[in-house]
């Protein structure tokens, strides 16, 4: 570890970087205030918390530029158990978040085409194509991605992510550790929990060897405690949407979920979500809704359409539709009830087994029914995601059952979370208008 590396990490990325990012946050807050003063015919004022979130995530990416030679780096999938890596002091980076950021910056198609030219077909996940294409292009909107010393991936999200991370491990010549989570048709059985627990125990010596130090058990317990607190706070944020009018939309949640995915287990993340709750509670007390003249409250199923979030939000608000809740954002909230700081490894095994994407379509249907009742919803938007087939599986049957059993109309919206080549604004606009008329 050189003195220059330490100076760059703690001075440039730390002290100086924080000051620069604070100035950027102030500019963003000023912009939000101007938008709020100007007003919007359909949407409520933007959340100020988005400026703080940008600062938080930007600082993490900034530190990543200078972490080489200072900290060991671990890449992890968004559904992977990261507490062991955190307790060992790894710098953490998730390609899933990076791919979503590229999609939001409208770089998904450009990077996907680069990956496709290298033999990755359009049929696979656009997150994978975006991230792999960014690697081949040697470009990223975050400046520089730190090379990993270890990659940890869990298939509790999908199978594609395993092959994506294995490909990156091959290109970068670094070890890849898989956490294999059995698919759940019911709640996890004891033998399934034990199976995942043993894998986590096997990860410890591998991560210790790369980190160059032993795992401190008390530090692991504290990391799990903070992680659970972050998830509990995130759950509170999502639950606030039960208020009428809803102070936030599912689109707000898509944006605000960045820290719970990439930085859960950090004190800064817990502090951030407390700030979010304070701002939301102020809105509730003042009767401020995210959608003006809220008339319809609907659930969004599946991943967001990152490249068209603003357009979708505005289009739905124009029909007085508030996307009140998204089951996708609950992935980093609900399973946290299984965390057990007194038995952290077993608690992690239970938590990461119960990811919503690791559960049956029947479970997801029942989950939707519960949300419809809890949030007083009168419609469901199911994003049939072209390149996220596991999440889209069963949507036609779910749509039919919601109508027949609850009388709840739904719209299956065909698109892709990162690839805008399969999105038609005109077609979607017409279908959303018909959906609104169905609920009237």
Residues 140-158 pLDDT 10s: 999 999 999 999 999 999 9
For position 1, what pLDDT does the model report? 58
Angle at 209 between CA 203 and CA 213, to 5 degrees: 105
Q: Which residues contact 184 (CB under 8 A, 6 or more apart)?
A: 192, 353, 354, 358, 359, 360, 363
Of 378, 354, 383, nearest to 436 by C-alpha is 378
- Give the mean pLDDT of 157-184: 96
- Give the mean pLDDT of 338-367: 94
- Give the mean pLDDT of 225-246: 97
The reply to whether the predicted model has a pTM over 0.85 is yes
- The pair of three-digit structure tokens given for residue 166, joined into one six-digit string: 């294995």
Convert the pLDDT of each residue in 4-63 to its tens digit: 778 788 888 888 899 999 999 999 999 999 999 999 999 999 999 999 999 999 999 999
Residue 343 has phi, psi (to 5 degrees) of: -135, 70
CATH architecture of 71-439: 3-Layer(aba) Sandwich (3.40)
Is a pLDDT exceeding 90 seen at residue 99? yes
For position 414, what pLDDT does the model report? 94
Contact call for residues 14 and 48 (beta carbons, < 8 A): no
For position 8, what pLDDT does the model report? 81
Domain boundaries, the chain: 1-69, 71-439
CA dist 235 and 142 (Å) reads 28
For position 12, what pLDDT does the model report? 84
Residue 223 has phi, psi (to 5 degrees) of: -65, -40
CA dist 153 and 366 (Å) reads 28
Is a pLDDT exceeding 80 seen at residue 3? no
Q: Which residue has the tokens 């317990």?
A: 221
Is a pLDDT exceeding 70 seen at residue 2? no
User: What is the share, in percent, of the chain residues with pLDDT greater than 70?
Assistant: 99
- Give the mean pLDDT of 157-163: 91
- Give the mean pLDDT of 336-340: 92
Residue 326 has phi, psi (to 5 degrees) of: -130, 130
CA dist 244 and 325 (Å) reads 13
Averaged confidence pLDDT in the chain:
95
């Amino acid at each position: 570890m050189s003195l220059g590396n330490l100076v760059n990490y703690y001075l440039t990325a730390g002290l100086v970087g924080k000051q620069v990012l604070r100035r950027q946050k102030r500019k963003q807050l000023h912009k939000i205030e101007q938008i709020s003063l100007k007003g919007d015919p359909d949407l409520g004022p933007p959340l100020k918390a988005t400026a703080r979130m940008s600062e938080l995530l930007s600082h993490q990416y900034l530190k990543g530029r200078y972490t080489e030679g200072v900290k060991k780096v671990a890449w992890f999938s968004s559904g992977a158990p990261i507490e062991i890596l955190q307790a060992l002091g790894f710098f953490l980076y998730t390609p899933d978040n990076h791919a979503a950021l590229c999609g939001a910056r409208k770089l998904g198609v450009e990077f996907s085409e680069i990956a496709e030219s290298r033999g990755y077909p359009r049929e696979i996940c656009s997150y994978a194509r975006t991230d792999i294409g960014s690697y081949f292009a040697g470009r990223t909107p975050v400046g520089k991605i730190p090379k990993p010393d270890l990659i940890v991936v869990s298939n509790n999200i999908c199978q594609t992510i395993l092959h994506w991370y294995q490909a990156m491990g091959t290109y970068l010549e670094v070890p890849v550790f898989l956490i294999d989570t059995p698919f759940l048709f019911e709640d996890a059985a004891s033998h399934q929990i034990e199976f995942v627990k043993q894998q986590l125990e096997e990860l410890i010596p591998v991560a210790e060897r790369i980190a160059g130090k032993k795992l401190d058990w008390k530090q692991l317990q504290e990391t799990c405690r903070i992680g659970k607190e972050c998830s509990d706070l995130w759950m509170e944020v999502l639950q606030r949407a039960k208020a009428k009018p809803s102070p936030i939309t599912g689109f707000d949640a898509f944006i605000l979920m960045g820290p719970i995915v990439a930085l859960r287990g950090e004190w800064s993340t817990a502090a951030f979500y407390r700030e979010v709750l304070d701002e939301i509670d102020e809105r509730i007390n003042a009767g401020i809704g995210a959608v003006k003249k809220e008339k319809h409250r609907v659930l969004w199923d599946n991943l967001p359409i990152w490249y068209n979030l603003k357009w979708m939000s505005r289009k739905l608000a124009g029909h007085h539709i508030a996307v009140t809740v998204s089951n996708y954002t609950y992935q980093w909230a609900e399973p946290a009830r299984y965390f057990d700081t007194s038995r952290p490894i077993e608690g992690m095994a239970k938590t990461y087994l119960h990811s919503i994407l690791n559960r049956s379509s029947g479970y997801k249907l029942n989950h939707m029914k519960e949300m419809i009742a809890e949030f007083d919803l009168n419609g469901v938007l199911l994003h049939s995601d072209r390149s996220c087939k596991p999440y889209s599986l069963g949507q036609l049957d779910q749509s039919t059952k919601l109508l027949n059993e609850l009388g709840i109309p739904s719209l299956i919206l065909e698109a892709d979370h990162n690839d805008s080549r399969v999105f038609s604004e005109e077609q979607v606009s017409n279908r959303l208008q018909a959906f609104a008329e169905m609920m009237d």
